[in-house]
Amino acid sequence: MNLGAFDKTAAYFPDVCFATPPDVGILLGSGWGAALEMDEVVFRASYADIPGIGASTVPGHAGEFVLYRRGGKLVAAWCGRRHCYEGAGWEAVVAPVEMLRRMGCQTVLLTNAAGGINPLLEPGDFVIIRDHINLLRTNPLVGAHVPEWGPRFPDMSEVYARRLAELLRAGVNRLGIRAMDGVYAFNMGPAYETPAEVRAYRAMGADAVGMSTVPEAIFAKSCGMKVAGLSLVSNLASGISPATLSHSEVVAAGEAAKPKMRALIGDFVDRL
Ligand code: HPA
């Protein structure tokens, strides 16, 4: 990847998107569509029309960029993400974060659906991501060094900013939402894990597993952004319950959790 790969994507956005740095960027994962409450839309665009991003191929992803105001805050929201497993390359996966960086945004909230590994988790719970395990052993920064994206060897000792995690924690407590602070393991997918893999990830210290977020988090952290991460536990991970796994279950869990997602994201934005 190089900076130039994103110039065409950036050129698509009108000046209004670069005029004022958004207070926060939000990336909504599977089942998180319609989790935002907007007072006033400043600009919106369908992913299909944005060069370098392209239409989402995954049901449950709205595929829309929306710049909006809520209270006194300006929010740049990517409603739906592109995943590694879609095969469109790292550019499509990290372009949303690169656009946020070019807009001057310094804080990003990454959301996803995940399988619960920690035995205390139940479907419908949230996980405030405090750290991650990258099971891929590669990441979007592999390649020629791009100084605009941070140092050659970026520190990853606190990918998920403590202050933002504490803000999310205060929010779930205030709203009475069940949530655990935890470690998210990133498996590329699109195949779900086997029970043996889930047992191995548990032994490694993972609380939840999913197919996203970590590439964007590594990229954003390297660029100097403050990162927050939030998973909705849509199902128990493979082998933890006897049920087989399906994406329709993930989307349905997102639908059921919508009021909590809205309250939680609204609270987070308001108190930033
Ligand atoms: N595994 C991986 N990704 C997921 C899961 C899961 O169990 N649930 C939702 N996304």
* Any atom of ligand 1 within 6 Å of the Cβ of 150: no
What three-state secondary structure class fits 146? coil
Strand partners, 46: 64
Catalytic position from the list 10, 45, 247, 249: 247
CATH assignment of the domain containing 38: 3.40.50.1580
* Residue 238 appears among annotated catalytic residues: no
Burial (0-12, 13-18, 19+ Cβ within 10 Å), 133:
middle
Q: Are 143 and 91 in contact (CB under 8 A)?
A: no
**Cα angle value 118/79/50 (rounded, 5°):** 135
CA-nearest residue for atom 3, ligand 1, is 210
Amino acid at 247: H
Residue 260, domain extent: 3-271
- Rounded to the nearest angstrom, the distance between the alpha carbon of 114 and the centre of ligand 1 is 4
User: Residue 77: what are its φ and ψ, rounded to 5°?
Assistant: -115, 130
Catalytic position from the list 30, 187, 234, 238: 30
pLDDT given for residue 202 in this prediction: 98
* Residue 98 appears among annotated catalytic residues: no
* Any atom of ligand 1 within 6 Å of the Cβ of 250: yes
- Whole-model pTM: value is 0.96
Distance (Å, whole) CA 86 – CA 159:
25
Does residue 2 register a pLDDT over 90?
A: no
- Rounded to the nearest angstrom, the distance between the alpha carbon of 212 and the centre of ligand 1 is 9
Q: For residue 248, give Cα distances in angstroms to 30, 31, 36, 70, 153.
A: 10, 10, 21, 31, 39
Q: Which of 81, 127, 136, 193 to mutate to test the pocket of ligand 1 (most atoms within 8 A of CB)?
A: 193
Strand partners, 77: 26, 66
What percent of the chain stands above pLDDT 70? 99
What are the pLDDT digits (tens) for 38-82? 989 999 999 999 999 988 777 666 789 999 999 999 999 999 998
Distance (Å, whole) CA 272 – CA 122:
28
* Residue 184 appears among annotated catalytic residues: no
Number of domains composing the chain:
1
Distance (Å, whole) CA 110 – CA 129:
9
Distance (Å, whole) CA 24 – CA 11:
21
